[in-house]
Amino acid sequence: MTIIGNIASPDNTHIKYVRSLEKKRVRYRDKQYYLEGLRLVAHALLRGIRPAFVFCTEEFIQDPRGAELVAQLDQVDTPTWTVAPAVMNTISDTVTPQGILAVVPMPDPAPDLARQADLLLVLDGIRDPGNLGTILRTAQATGVQAVLLAKGCVDPYAPKVVRAGMGAHLDLPLLPAMEWADIAPLIADKQRVLADAQGEITLWEVDWRPPTALIVGGEAEGASPEAWAATQLVARLPMQGETESLNAAIATAAFLFEAQRQRQQTDQQA
């Protein structure tokens, strides 16, 4: 394997650049964000994504799995540096860094994929990074084909969202920071279902088999007036006792797994 060199100072130019990617304006200016951990970096390579550059610790390379991953990075000519543990601590978004961090290109949004999707997720006002990451993982697991994020949502490429997403970013077409004027044409020819506690029907009464856009509002304020205006059906998740609502990630999971169940059942009967 080929390692360019070792970085021992947190004042190194490349290290400072990674820290700058914590800022949204830098990520979108350069169309780059970063991944941490063996699993995410390996998944990126599996998807044909070539990192711009990589940092890893000597301890990471000494592990057989780490050495194999670094060898794979060498095969695709990825500039790789070893860094001191203290330096990795300054750029890692985790309490206990996993020993490898890769700067990767941010894919261009693909409106055509959203327009053609049979199951589309529209997020409106989701501001909690952990919730958004979990929602993206659930979308990946349930066959969602694209995710639209209205302006006001937390950035899906923020480090905490990427960590919580566990690789979903690498598989899901994401269209961030969209105006509702641009969202509306992409979902106009689909069944549009809003998840809301005040829904007149339950999620089990919705027919999820036609091309559908599921709209999920924010944790605190719920869906915006623009989201309500785009909605055809409002469905709720029935709850017992005094529970008024669930967080957005749990509610979204319930809706998407029901959509998956109906769609798989239809495929099995075909």
DSSP 49: P
Burial (0-12, 13-18, 19+ Cβ within 10 Å), 189: exposed
The verdict on domain 111-269 having CATH code 3.40.1280.10 is: yes
The 10 Å Cβ neighbour count of residue 74 is 14
> Which residues, at least 6 apart from 152, have a Cβ–Cβ distance to it below 8 Å?
124, 125, 127, 218, 224
Question: Phi, psi (5° rounding) for residue 259?
Answer: -60, -45
CA 5, 10, 16, 18 torsion-angle sign:
positive
- Specify the fold of 5-105: 60s Ribosomal Protein L30; Chain: A; (3.30.1330)
93 band by pLDDT with thresholds 50, 70 and 90:
confident
User: Radius of gyration of the chain from Cα atoms?
Assistant: 21
Beta strands 100-105 and 32-36 are antiparallel
Domain residue spans of the chain: 5-105, 111-269
**What integer pLDDT is reported at residue 243 of this predicted model?**
53
Bridge partners of 101? Answer: 36, 55
Cα separation, 20 vs 106, in Å, equals 15
Check whether 26 has a pLDDT greater than 90: yes
94 band by pLDDT with thresholds 50, 70 and 90:
confident
Decide if 266 contacts 214 (C-beta within 8 A). no
Average pLDDT over residues 22-34: 97
Check whether 29 has a pLDDT greater than 80: yes
Q: Quick one: what percent of the chain has pLDDT higher than 70?
A: 96
124 band by pLDDT with thresholds 50, 70 and 90:
very high
The 10 Å Cβ neighbour count of residue 247 is 13
Average pLDDT over residues 255-270: 87
78 band by pLDDT with thresholds 50, 70 and 90:
very high
The 10 Å Cβ neighbour count of residue 25 is 8
Average pLDDT over residues 29-46: 96
**What integer pLDDT is reported at residue 111 of this predicted model?**
94
